[in-house]
């Protein structure tokens, strides 16, 4: 009988968690480009987008709880800024690189050939999906996720304390808008173009349906940040 270990075994060893249902981990590692490629061949393979959605919430609650419990001297505004810095695409892609997550992602051929394994947006999304997979597989146990996630969060908070919290344009814009009761700020995806491995997303920041900023980037999150950055100039904010 062969005792050769699979790549998944190596990832489980790195993250310190053994999956009871390997299928949920496989789904977390499956990028939409791979899923689409399989579908074109008549195979139905789920991508990680649904898990990414759940993982975003798991990440937020774990991070928020840690900040609430460990930073009792901080005001809500400060904690919001710190959390934004910890859960942003830049930080999440760094966490993913720290565990070599890019080596395990299932990518379509074109995405793989065009540097997808080290693309920040793909790594960040896969990291969130991985958190969701751990959460589901452990029976919705946030403590299991915390055991893996908190060392990354704590390390990033320490870096933030040394270098200063990066400017979160969306939070800055929201804080200005909420000073006037009844104002509605939203971010609307108005277009996307380019091949799967190099998409460009365009987002508008709208205040009461009026466009106050636009942004383009390789991820929706970054496009929203750029739209907010542009919008801030309308309020006389220099960033």
Contact criterion met (CB below 8 Å) for 87 and 60: yes
Catalytic residue among 27, 52, 128, 224: 128
As a 3-state breakdown, the chain gives helix, strand, coil percent values, each rounded to 5, of 60, 10, 25
Q: How far apart are CA 213 and CA 176, in angstroms?
A: 14
Catalytic residue among 12, 49, 56, 196: 56
Asked if 27 is an active-site residue, the reply is no
Q: Which residues contact 229 (CB under 8 A, 6 or more apart)?
A: 169, 213, 215, 239
Nearest to 149 by CA among 169, 171, 130: 130
Q: Which two tokens stand for residue 197?
A: 């491995």
Q: Strands across the sheet with 185-193, in order?
A: 185-193, 200-207, 210-217
CA dihedral in degrees (18, 24, 29, 32; nearest 10)?
A: 180
Asked if 56 is an active-site residue, the reply is yes
b/e sequence 28-48, b meaning 16+ C-beta within 10 Å: bbbbbbbbebbeeeeeeebbb
What residues are annotated to the active site? Answer: 56, 128
């Amino acid at each position: 009988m062969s005792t050769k270990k699979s790549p998944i075994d190596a990832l489980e060893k790195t993250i310190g968690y053994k999956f009871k249902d390997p299928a949920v981990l496989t789904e977390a590692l499956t990028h939409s480009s791979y899923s689409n490629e399989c579908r074109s061949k008549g195979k139905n393979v789920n991508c990680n987008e649904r898990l990414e959605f759940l993982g975003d919430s798991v990440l937020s609650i774990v991070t928020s709880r840690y900040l609430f419990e460990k930073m009792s001297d901080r005001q809500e505004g400060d904690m919001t800024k710190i959390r934004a810095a910890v859960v942003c695409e830049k930080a999440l892609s760094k966490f993913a690189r720290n565990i070599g997550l890019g080596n395990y992602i299932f990518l379509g051929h074109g995405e793989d050939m065009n540097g997808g394994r080290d693309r920040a947006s793909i790594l960040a999304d896969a990291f969130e999906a991985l958190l969701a997979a751990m959460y589901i597989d452990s029976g919705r146990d946030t403590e299991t996720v915390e055991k893996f996630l908190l060392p990354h969060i704590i390390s990033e908070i320490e870096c933030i304390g040394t270098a200063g919290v990066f400017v979160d344009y969306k939070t800055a814009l929201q804080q200005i808008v909420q000073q006037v009761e009844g104002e509605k700020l939203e971010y609307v995806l108005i277009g996307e173009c380019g091949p799967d491995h190099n998409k460009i997303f365009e987002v508008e920041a709208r205040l009461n349906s009026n466009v106050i900023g636009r942004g383009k980037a390789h991820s929706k999150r970054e496009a929203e940040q750029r739209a907010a950055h542009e919008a801030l100039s309308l309020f006389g904010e220099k960033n």
